Amino acid sequence: MNKKQIKALLMEMRSVENGERVDYLLGIIDEMEEEKIQKIVIQLGNHPEKIRQFLARKIEEGNRKTEEKYPINAMFTYGITGDCIHFHLPEDLHELLRQKGSFATMDQINLYLLDAIERIQNLRAQGDYRLQDKRSFYMISPILIRRELKFLESLDFQTRYYFRHQLQDETFREKNPEAKFATQIFGTEKGVGTASLLWERTLTPEWQAKKEEKKQEFLKRGATLEEKAPEK
């Protein structure tokens, strides 16, 4: 593919939400020499779908850099999309995995997740304008695999797992917008899990009891929780 074809492909990917970022990338491509563009094309095997995925990642990278995120505890941040609170899971777990191993690391993450939900609820009760009228929590990440999804399901999250071969299937992605969104963020080399929970459910006595039971399980197994959230 040449510069003109890549620009045409990028314009096909333009939407109301990503228009500003796409226009920026079109300007970058305009300024690039054809020789430099061809080096990137060769690295991608001159394959249209791989080039599309590469461009989608570049669009998403820009979106994520400009997305407003708020720290809620020592491990999680959150953003707001419409009436949904989107938790951002930790991206770099290498040090924690090295220290604690996979099972203890996930106990730690799950404990911090429950803490994050509590803190969000408290902020809303205190009148935080950003959180009023929000209806659900949402997560999407390659970290959400079978063991973690099972834990979330025990707390009434609605979950979904997309296998790598599904994410690599263009027809499947077009029929499943969430899968398409997953590939734009994480690519197609790993399976991706999603989880959502209605805000109303977290307010019920039954849910609160299950949450406390899970927290005690994690604490007994050695998970720890920093008491104060980072400064905003």
**Tell me, what's the pLDDT at 56?**
85
88 with 124: CB under 8 angstroms? no
Return d(Cα 173, Cα 113) in angstroms, integer: 29
What pLDDT, in 10s, does the model give residues 83-94? 889 998 876 777
Spell out a b/e string for 137-159, using b for 16 or more CB atoms within 10 Å of the CB, else e.
bbbbbbbbeeebbebbeebebeb
Give pLDDT, residue 64.
54
Of the candidates 64, 72, 75, which has an alpha carbon nearest to the alpha carbon of residue 21? Answer: 64
Cα separation, 93 vs 80, in Å, equals 24
pLDDT at position 183, please? 86
Reduce the DSSP state of residue 169 to 3 states and report it.
coil
What does pTM read for this prediction?
Answer: 0.69
Q: Is 222 exposed, middle or buried (0-12, 13-18, 19+ CB in 10 A)?
A: exposed
pLDDT digit string (tens) for the chain, length 232 residues: 898 899 888 888 877 667 777 887 888 888 788 888 898 889 888 888 888 888 888 887 665 554 578 899 988 999 887 788 999 887 677 777 787 788 888 899 999 999 999 999 999 999 998 898 899 999 999 888 888 999 999 999 999 999 999 999 989 988 888 888 888 788 888 899 999 999 999 999 999 999 999 999 999 999 888 755 444 4
CA–CA dist 2, 7 (Å, integer):
9
Report the pLDDT value the prediction gives residue 230, as an integer from 0 to 100.
45
pLDDT on residue 54: 86
CA atoms within 13 A on the CB side of 74: 10
Strand order in the sheet with 84-88: 70-71, 77-81, 84-88, 136-141, 192-198, 158-162
